[in-house]
Amino acid sequence: MRPRIVVTRKLPEDALALLREAGDVWLPEPDRALPAGELHDAVAGADGIVCTLHDPIDGALADAAGDRLRVVSTVAVGHDNIDVAALAARGVVVTNTPGVLTDATADLAFGLLLSVTRRLGEGERLLRSRTPWQFDLGFLLGTGLQGTTLGIVGLGQIGTAMARRARAFGMSIAYTGRRRADADVEAELGARYLPLDALLRESDVVSLHCPLTESTRHLIDADALAAMKPTAYLVNTTRGPVVDEAALADALARGGIAGAGLDVFEKEPDVHPGLLELDNVALAPHLGSATLQTRTAMATLAARNAVAVLRGDAPLTPVRG
Ligand code: GLV
Ligand code: GLV
């Protein structure tokens, strides 16, 4: 029997073609985020599920799929939406797409940093509101990055790519995380390892690149924000719940920190209304990996992972539970 492959969101054609070679593909028409009830119904009898980062995939969903389910392949590097242990207990392999979105995400993180420190959003809003303006030497002054310190939380692939960009802008690098980076990575980046509290106190920019887990949920809360310099900026391109968004909106409004660049939000697609009122925040709607090249590479890798498991081969990039 041909495997049944449930794809929760429309994928680039190349990826769909790989899946269609391997099995019978079902996907929602028209493309939309499936509400939980519809997702449960859709997966019944699935051998494989190809999902995205907002689909909650837990043991109950695997049970709704039934005993044929062998693989859940997410088109994302972050897999906080998937209960990997519950799936492993049911013999289901989970795969993600590391590596292929590293540069795109680091580019976007650095873009948000430039946007907020050079006040690009404010400038654009000023022009679009047709407010009269004139060049003068004090007009819309921002903050230069040269000679400042970037504190990276989570020096994985994306954190390292962010640090490389920062080095090219003349920044020095500090980092924190569960473990020390390899000595050659530390040497290449000139990166100093610091505990989180010291990193927050010393950095001019704090950029988040850790995954969302129970230990990183609200890692950046009111106390963490209070530890940062009032002149410091926060960049978040990982997952919204790593930051207490209400505490961040409050710190930004009070001048507790200087600004923020945010690509992710606690309750996507909603954004804390306080953030929308503030000029010292650069906002993007979860665009970290959103280039044509990167999304094609992610979807193709996700499809190859699903096909490999369905054929009885080892997946290319399994998530280890
Ligand atoms: C995007 O947010 C991803 O995890 O791939
Ligand atoms: C994943 O690619 C990471 O940032 O470690």
| Mean of all residue pLDDT scores within the chain | 98
Catalytic entry in 9, 209, 286, 304 = 286
**Band of the pLDDT at 136, cuts 50, 70, 90?**
very high
The answer to whether the CB of 98 is under 6 A from ligand 1 is: no
Answer yes or no: are the C-beta atoms of 79 and 96 closer than 8 Å: yes
179 has catalytic annotation: no
Q: Which ligand is closest in space to the CA of residue 106?
A: 2
pLDDT exceeds cutoff 90 at 215:
yes
pLDDT at 173: 98
Show the CA angle centred on residue 32, arms to residues 41 and 211, nearest 5°.
90
Atom of ligand 1 nearest to the CA of 96: 5
pTM of the model: 0.96
* Dihedral over Cα of 141, 147, 153, 157: its sign: positive
What are the boundaries of each domain within the chain?
Answer: 4-99+292-310, 102-283
The answer to whether the CB of 25 is under 6 A from ligand 2 is: no
Q: 223 CB contacts (<8 Å, ≥6 apart)? A: none
Average pLDDT of the segment spanning 208-221: 98
- Using N-to-C axis directions, what is the helix angle for 13-22 and 292-310, rounded to 10°? 10
Catalytic entry in 4, 165, 239, 272 = 239
DSSP string spanning 70-92? Answer: -EEEESSS--TTB-HHHHHHTT-
pLDDT at 247: 98
CATH homologous superfamily of 102-283 equals NAD(P)-binding Rossmann-like Domain (3.40.50.720)
* Dihedral over Cα of 236, 240, 242, 244: its sign: positive
Do 102-283 and 4-99+292-310 fall under one CATH topology? Answer: yes
Average pLDDT of the segment spanning 108-115: 98
Residue whose tokens read 């802008």: 169
286 has catalytic annotation: yes
- Give 242-271 as a 3 state SS string: HECHHHHHHHHHHCCCCEEEECCCCECCEC
CATH topology of domain 4-99+292-310: Rossmann fold (3.40.50)
